[in-house]
Structure 1
Amino acid sequence: MPRAPSDFWDYLRDATPARIALGRVGDALPTRRVLEFQLAHAKARDAVETALDPAPLLAELAHWRPILVRSQADDRRTFLQRPDLGRRLAPPSAEALAPERPGAYDATIVIADGLSAAAAQTQGPPLCKMLLATQGLSFAPPVVALQARVALGDEIAARQGARMALVLIGERPGLSACDSLGAYLTIDPAPGATSDARRNCVSNIRPDGLSLEDASRRILALMFAARALGLTGTELKEDDALALEHIPNGLVQSVR
């Protein structure tokens, strides 16, 4: 049974984590609201600064022979201060990605820490496994990437011989969500040259946002549409991808 609202704004507070109608005490915010803000800010800072632990991810994906790589950003501080280094593979990692079957893969999936290692740590493996189990798409061995930006997936895909790069990456934390995962899809990526306008994004993947099931449904629709049309980004709309009829038999219901 719904609780009786203590004031008019409780109806909206129940519907959103946004900070609305915080109230005031004199010229200041109530102490409770100040402490809530400080806690949310601390959680956001922790999300950005915490390092990803790759061992559990590699163990969970062991069936698909995952590969661990690193960007040219040697540590977290460098990663935050030099976004360009997070977009390129460290030389040893680049050498480890020689394709077993060049050009034989539709896609590669990269789990990247990005700006929220917690999101990649928790949402990344189960979503990755759901996608790897899909019939009708061929996947390169999945990759776990440290100190990684979205564009690192371009070089990974190129080196693995995969036509599409799907990067599951921790999104920039806000003051109401510090564990949000984003999925960025790019077809025919060109390392160092592909613009963000050529990427599709499915965002807010987290327990209190977009569920893993719904996220996988949307991502798969985009992947099948991208493969069929040779398009991603501004030229491929998610609603159009969900409505397409050329998805292989047996998968039509799962991507609608």
Structure 2
Amino acid sequence: MTRRLPWALDARADAPFPPAETALREPDGLLAVGGDLTPVRLLNAYAGGVFPWFSDGQPLLWWSPDPRMVFRTDGVHLSSRFRRSLRASPWVVRADTCFAEVIAACATSVRPGQDGTWITDAMREAYVALHRMGYAHSVEVFEGERLVGGIYGVAIGRMFFGESMFSAASGGSKVALAALAHRLAQWGWPLIDAQVENDHLPSMGGEHWPRERFLALVREQVRRDAPVGSWAMEFGEMAAAVLANQES
């Protein structure tokens, strides 16, 4: 039997993606190859439940796995022990004050079981461009002036697509994710896309959703009205200690 190949993307940046439901089963979720990382292409991809994931030396690869790892914004869990440690924490959380630093830290973080990073220089430039347009955002955890953790991703409508997070101090990424979820829940945003599972996400409340369920919610949420632009003022400054009172 002939093995089906992923779609080859049209050279036009605004060309539509193939339906995410047509992604390959092996490797899980590989949908398309080629194209570019222009803002219009990236926004079209995310709105269709698709994201880029490739390494230096590979062609651009586009994915929509089944199932999908997600967090309900009211469902991020921090352990009781960790929440107790936050009660006296001096950390504060802000948004969109140092996006380039967050993505750089994510790109250079050493991750067990991974050789190198998928956040290539081209990826960094593309997401910084989306940030300047008001579509990509970072949530940052500070101890004084030191950046100790963060997360970044893409927002379309009222849907947040998480890309990567990092810790420069133990628990920094957990606080960034929990603070993001807390604020998005207050804003009425229901879901954070976490793309694929790693060892830590299920313990924090990550859920496996069938792709069909995920895509149905994405298609609804990306059509909802939400301001485009910096989150710095709307997000404000949140004391990490606030998260100690969240139910686990």
Q: TM-score, length-normalised on structure 1?
A: 0.27
Structure whose CA Rg is larger = 1
Structure of greater relative contact order (alpha carbons < 8 Å, 6+ residues apart): 2
The structure richer in helix per residue is 1
More strand by share: 2
With normalisation by structure 2, the TM-score equals 0.27
